Amino acid sequence: MDYNKIFSDGIVSLPPSPIRELLKVSQRPGVISLAGGNPSPDTFPVEDLKICFEKVMGEKPQKILQYSPTEGLSELIEAVRSLSLEDGIKCEMDNILITTGSQQGMDLVCKILLNPGDEVIVELPTYPGSLHTLRSYKAKITGVPVDEKGINVNLLEDIIRERAMKGKIPKFIYTIPTFQNPSGTTLSEERRKYIIQIAKKYEIIVVEDDPYSKLRYSGKFIKSIKSYDEEGFVIYMNSFSKIFCPGVRVAWMIADKEIIKKMIIAKQGMDLHTSSLNQAIIAEFLKQGKLKSHLDRIVPYYREKCDIMVKTVNECFGNRIIFTSPEGGFFSWITLKQDIDTKEFIYKAIERGVVYVPGSSFGPGEEKELKSSLRLSFATVNKNDIKKGIEILSEIF
Ligand code: PMP
């Protein structure tokens, strides 16, 4: 059968994720992959997970092997609520929705807010997984540059003001304010407050994607944008993927009750609910108070790798690049001062056994300001290879 005759216009026009393609190369033996965004398997709490699994399977197998409510298991919602209150986010049980990864969270946001052609503002650069979702909903995507303090809020307001004058403001602003993927930058407190003012002034939703904030290696804790939100303009997403393990596919969202209600309806058509078993295991892990000691173990583990990356980048590239040291998360972002396209060097790097992601993968179009940049991740690479990989890249460029 010629399947091309039957595929929808939507899927035919959707390009595959460039990072997923690169990840295939990085699976080859001996390749140093600075490309992926995966957490290190060394950090997975395997023994604790086994204990929690035994406990929930022993106590309530009937419940956790059964279908469960779309919004999530009440014990997990309650645990997420306590976690959020500790971080300064005020919320009730019905402000929370458990999702099958934040990737599904983004899909739900788009499903309930977007009509084809609606405009969405993203950071430039931004997370390609979200660009993929936005494209699949036929959003008109506008990028606003990020500097060392996060998204440029003045430019952001200029764009929104201009759209407001024309009578059609963007549906939402999508931001990863803390240890951003891919730039590693963190939005300053001042700019967080300013974004809330913009949201109120123009009545625009802010989608705050926050999977990395608990992985802080230096600097002071900074409150989420959501914690400044008194009036329900912010849809907040967080995930257990980076602080627990991604294979469980459990994440959460916090938003106004009206928004949560609509997302529950949307989620019913996707997967009915997130795995009851996996939710119960995580709820048990949190109930036993294991998250804190787990983070106390994994933060120093990642900090050491992050320090090696920053030190090696500075030693090897010196003043040939623009570079901000990340205070947490998995990524650092290098912008070469030379006018070259890092995409053209990827095969040379692969020949020499190193993979990175070219900057152009992180924008909605072929933005020229991203061409001379690249994203490096230190999370899964061993310490020697981080050094070796960066040294090779420095020679190539
Ligand atoms: N948002 C960002 C910024 C991410 O980096 C990722 C994972 N790479 C996701 C969302 C998706 O996470 P999850 O595993 O929760 O679907």
Q: So where are the chain's domains?
A: 3-44+293-396, 47-289
Q: Which two structure tokens, joined as six digits, stand for 63? A: 């419940």
Beta strands 251-254 and 96-99: pairing type? antiparallel
- Residue whose Cα lies nearest atom 8 of ligand 1: it is 37
What lies within 8 Å, CB to CB, of 172 at 6+ separation is: 109, 113, 120, 121, 204, 205, 206, 207, 235
Residues 6+ apart with CB under 8 A from 368: none
- Widest pairwise Cα distance in the chain: 62
Which residues, judged by CB distance below 6 Å to any ligand atom, belong to the binding site of ligand 1? Answer: 37, 101-103, 127, 129, 176, 181, 209, 211, 239, 241, 246, 251
pLDDT tens over the chain, length 397 residues: 988 889 998 888 888 776 667 777 777 788 999 998 899 999 999 999 999 999 999 999 999 999 999 999 999 999 999 999 999 999 999 999 999 999 999 999 999 999 999 999 999 999 999 999 999 999 999 999 999 999 999 999 999 999 999 999 999 999 999 999 999 999 999 999 999 999 999 999 999 999 999 999 999 999 999 999 999 999 999 999 999 999 999 999 999 999 999 999 999 999 999 999 999 999 999 999 999 999 999 999 999 999 999 999 999 999 999 998 999 999 999 999 999 999 999 989 998 999 999 999 999 998 999 999 999 999 999 999 999 999 999 999 9
What is the distance in A from the centroid of ligand 1 to the CA of 167? Answer: 33
Please name the residues in contact with 141: beta carbons below 8 A apart, sequence gap of 6 or more.
119, 120, 122, 131, 134, 135, 364
Do the beta carbons of residue 186 and residue 178 sit within 8 Å?
A: yes
| Whether the complex's predicted ipTM surpasses the cut of 0.85 | yes
Residue 102 CA to ligand 1 centre (angstroms): 6
Q: To test ligand 1's pocket by mutation, which of 241, 274, 333 has the most ligand atoms within 8 angstroms of CB?
A: 241
Question: Does the fold of domain 47-289 match that of domain 3-44+293-396?
Answer: no
Atom of ligand 1 nearest to the CA of 240: 15
Q: Are 138 and 110 in contact (CB under 8 A)?
A: no
Q: Please report the pLDDT score of residue 324 as a whole number.
A: 84
Distance from residue 251's CA to the centre of ligand 1 (Å)? 9
**Which secondary-structure segment (H or E) carries 110?**
helix 101-113
Q: Which CATH class is domain 3-44+293-396?
A: alpha beta
- Best residue among 19, 80, 97, 102 to mutate for probing ligand 1's pocket (most ligand atoms within 8 Å of CB) is 102
Helix, strand, coil distribution of the chain in percent, nearest 5: 50, 15, 35
Q: Indicate the class that CATH gives domain 47-289.
A: alpha beta
From the list 65, 123, 83, 132, the residue with the least C-alpha distance to 104 is 132
What local confidence, expressed as pLDDT, does residue 18 receive? Answer: 67
